[in-house]
Chains A and B, each alone.
Chain A
Amino acid sequence: MNYSYLVKRGIQIIPVVFGILIISFLMIHLAPGDAVFMFIGESGADPEFEAAIRTRLGLDKSLFEQFILYIKGIFSGDLGRSFVLNEDVSKIIFDRAIPTIILMLSSISFGAIFGILIGVYAASKPYSMRDNISMVIALFLYSLPNFWLGQMLIIVFSVNWGLLPVSGMESMILGDKSFLFDRFTHLVLPTITLGSTLAAFVMRFVRSSMIDVLGQDYILTAKSKGLSERKIFFKHALKNALLPVITYIGLRLGYMLSGAVVIESVFGWPGLGLLMLDALFERDYPLIMGLFIVISLSVTIITFIVDILYTYLDPRIRLK
């Protein structure tokens, strides 16, 4: 196991984490208006409390010291308190995280599987009709504004045909439907909408990776041994081509969360995206910044884990 690579990668994410914290800190302090404002909001809290906040934030101290305090706070789990919802930010985020996680997992699975299947299909006969059509499909899919796709799907499947629920994560009244089925029907459209963009990118990536691999010298060697086309395709080429897909999907994580915000808005999906939008409308700055930090750091960490996974799978890196 190549530990040195692990450590090196781990060290690399520290500046990124730092960068995120610095950016969020700067945003708070660059905002027009007092930094306290960010914590109190417009609700006009009583002067005593305001004074307490000032001391706690250390606004009388230098910028640098404030930053240290800020970081300390975050690492101890204190993301501030939302005055709009009258709760700790960390608790709010924690409660609302699950719907987003569900949506992300199902969309990533859908997008990855669909994308890989079509990408491999397209690569099986490069530059042929099936390849060209697949790539055009991919092009169409990633040119689609995903919120529009969502809206159109709702109009067709929910409004017109009544097949699927219009919005939300669960029905108010279950009636005679099972719990799982209800959740499933609510999940279908958002998953397809969010997953289709990923599918498009994965399709193209897999296809080009496969074509790249099929042009490699070791494929000629395999042919010279008399192996069948099928065997060469699946045993020799596929493994090489699919390895980088994992990293690629990791790279798209940030963009997917980006899309999740919009999709949650379209479908009224009660996750972190919708929470963010509400927070923005309410000018709930502690919550806004808290969400920003949590999401960004989560993506960083997950990307790191994906990287580790990749190094484990690629023998060229796993063994020196």
Chain B
Amino acid sequence: MDVLKIKNFWKIFKQNKLGVVGLIILLIFVFLAIFAPLLARFPSLTTGAGEAFLNPSFKHLLGTDNLGRDLYSELLFGARITLVVSFIAVITSTVVGVLFGSIAGYYGGIIDSILMRITEIFLVIPPIFLALVLVAIFGANITNMIIVISVLSWPQTARLVRAEILSLKERPYCKAAIATGESDFKIIFSELVPNTMTTIIVNLSLTQATAILIESALSFLGFGDSSMVSWGLMLNNAQEFFRQSWFMVFFPGMSIFLVVLSLNLVGEGLNDVFNPRRKK
């Protein structure tokens, strides 16, 4: 059964209950993000909209922060940043990662050694450190954030794809393709990479989860784009006000947690579909 066909895929995926839960949560957040302007009661970043430190009420669903801003609205707009930034970063890094990984894995030799050294370097430098330094030098805005997160994420994907290609390369059908006279380009992208699709897809959701964590951490530390609302920024703001309002900490953090959790759950579900464990 070909699990990359939608019909078959869904049949197996829905057996993993947690995966389905994750998918639902994810879709809810996507929905909230898309329709944020419609759903928000108050436009974000307006101060003095209400009293500070209000508890959740009908008017302010999740309460207000130290400047009287509506937490619920902030949260909705924050969702947009989080999801968009992480998504673009993931797509970019995956494309780059697959390119590098497959070429390095297939050709081996110097290209491969270089790739392996590069990925080792990225493994050794603590990601936040690198991100902070880059942001400090080049400035903290949305574009840079996306670039920085992409730069941090592609080595992992490349490594993964390279490992798969290395083992697939030894399969007789790859040797047969060479023997038939297929061009290298076609062999890599028409014979080998399609067989790594399942790995790449699972990796997508996991990479996005990590991307969101990095983005929130950067914003939390104060190095995100301060002109836009983001959940990490909200937590940064809340750092001083533990005693006054724990909502300011709870809701943004819970949102990050839920989105990341849902992505990880979906990733697990995908993994179960593509690499089923053989057990009754």
Question: Chain A residues in contact with chain B, CB under 8 A?
Answer: 15-16, 19-20, 23, 27, 30-32, 127, 136, 139-140, 142-145, 147-148, 151-152, 154-155, 159, 166, 251, 254-262, 265-266, 276-277, 280-281, 283, 288-289, 291-292, 295-296, 299-300, 303
Contacts of B222 in A (CB 8 A): 277, 281
Q: Known: A152-B250, A280-B136. Contact between A19 and B257, CB under 8 A?
A: no
Determine how close the nearest CB of chain B comes to the CB of A148; give it in whole angstroms: 3
Check A261–B129 contact: CB distance below 8 A: yes
Check A276–B132 contact: CB distance below 8 A: yes
Q: How many angstroms from the CA of A25 to the CA of B224 in the assembled complex? A: 24
Nearest opposing residue in chain B for A166, CB measure: B242
Q: Known: A19-B118, A143-B264, A280-B136. Contact between A254 and B127, CB under 8 A?
A: yes
Q: Known: A151-B238, A155-B246. Contact between A300 and B124, CB under 8 A?
A: yes
Check B120–A152 contact: CB distance below 8 A: no
Nearest opposing residue in chain B for A132, CB measure: B18
Check A258–B250 contact: CB distance below 8 A: no
Closest 10 A/B residue pairs (Cβ) = A148-B253, A258-B126, A143-B261, A257-B126, A258-B128, A19-B121, A143-B260, A31-B137, A296-B125, A15-B117
Q: How many angstroms from the CA of A254 to the CA of B264 in the assembled complex? A: 21
Contacts of A251 in B (CB 8 A): 123
Determine how close the nearest CB of chain B comes to the CB of A291; give it in whole angstroms: 8
Give the contact stretch, choosing among B1-9, B38-46, B213-221: B213-221
Determine how close the nearest CB of chain B comes to the CB of A19; give it in whole angstroms: 4
Partner of B217, one of A20, A127, A262, A291: A262
Contacts of B138 in A (CB 8 A): 31-32
Contacts of A140 in B (CB 8 A): 261
Q: Does B265 touch A at the CB level, under 8 Å?
A: yes
Partner of B129, one of A19, A276, A303: A276
Q: How many angstroms from the CA of A11 to the CA of B121 in the assembled complex? A: 14
Does more than half of chain A's interface fall in helix, strand or loop, or is it mixed? helix
- Chain A-chain B contacts (Cβ-Cβ < 8 Å), number: 133
Contacts of A152 in B (CB 8 A): 249-250, 253
Contacts of B124 in A (CB 8 A): 16, 20, 254, 296, 299-300, 303
Q: How many angstroms from the CA of A255 to the CA of B209 in the assembled complex? A: 15
Nearest opposing residue in chain A for B213, CB measure: A145
Check A258–B256 contact: CB distance below 8 A: no
Determine how close the nearest CB of chain A comes to the CB of B208; give it in whole angstroms: 12
Contacts of A30 in B (CB 8 A): 137
Check A148–B257 contact: CB distance below 8 A: yes
Check A27–B133 contact: CB distance below 8 A: yes
Check B220–A147 contact: CB distance below 8 A: yes
Q: How many angstroms from the CA of A144 to the CA of B261 in the assembled complex? A: 8
Check B121–A20 contact: CB distance below 8 A: yes
Determine how close the nearest CB of chain A comes to the CB of B16; give it in whole angstroms: 11
Check B249–A295 contact: CB distance below 8 A: no
Contacts of A159 in B (CB 8 A): 242-243, 246
Q: Which of A254, A281, A283 is the most central at the interface, judged by chain B CB atoms within 10 Å of its CB? A: A254
Q: How many angstroms from the CA of A307 to the CA of B217 in the assembled complex? A: 30
Q: Known: A20-B121, A145-B213, A280-B132. Contact between A155 and B249, CB under 8 A?
A: yes
Q: How many angstroms from the CA of A143 to the CA of B18 in the assembled complex? A: 14
Contacts of B216 in A (CB 8 A): 145, 147
Query: Which B residues from 217 to 273 make CB contacts under 8 A with A?
Result: 217, 220-223, 235, 238-239, 242-243, 246, 249-250, 252-254, 256-257, 260-261, 264-265, 268
B117-151 vs A, Cβ < 8 Å mask (1 yes, 0 no): 11011011111111011101110000000000000
Q: How many angstroms from the CA of A140 to the CA of B242 in the assembled complex? A: 24
Q: Known: A19-B118, A145-B217, A148-B249. Contact between A280 and B223, CB under 8 A?
A: yes
Q: How many angstroms from the CA of A276 to the CA of B125 in the assembled complex? A: 14
Nearest opposing residue in chain B for A148, CB measure: B253
19 contacts between A and B (CB under 8 A): A16-B120, A27-B137, A31-B137, A143-B260, A143-B264, A145-B257, A147-B217, A148-B253, A151-B235, A254-B124, A254-B127, A255-B126, A256-B126, A258-B127, A258-B129, A261-B221, A281-B222, A288-B136, A291-B129
Contacts of A142 in B (CB 8 A): 264
Check B239–A27 contact: CB distance below 8 A: no
Q: How many angstroms from the CA of A144 to the CA of B256 in the assembled complex? A: 8
B97-122 vs A, Cβ < 8 Å mask (1 yes, 0 no): 00000000000000000000110110
Q: How many angstroms from the CA of A258 to the CA of B130 in the assembled complex? A: 9
Inter-chain pairs besides A166-B242, A295-B125, A295-B126, 17 sampled, C-beta below 8 Å: A19-B117, A127-B277, A127-B279, A145-B216, A145-B217, A145-B220, A145-B256, A152-B250, A159-B246, A256-B126, A261-B126, A261-B129, A276-B129, A277-B132, A283-B136, A295-B129, A299-B125
Q: How many angstroms from the CA of A283 to the CA of B120 in the assembled complex? A: 28
Nearest opposing residue in chain A for B120, CB measure: A16
Check A144–B257 contact: CB distance below 8 A: yes
Check A254–B118 contact: CB distance below 8 A: no
Determine how close the nearest CB of chain B comes to the CB of A190; give it in whole angstroms: 15
Q: How many angstroms from the CA of A127 to the CA of B277 in the assembled complex? A: 10
Nearest opposing residue in chain A for B114, CB measure: A15
Check B133–A299 contact: CB distance below 8 A: no
Nearest opposing residue in chain A for B113, CB measure: A15
Q: Known: A20-B124, A276-B129. Contact between A139 and B261, CB under 8 A?
A: yes
Q: Known: A15-B117, A23-B121, A258-B128. Contact between A154 and B133, CB under 8 A?
A: no
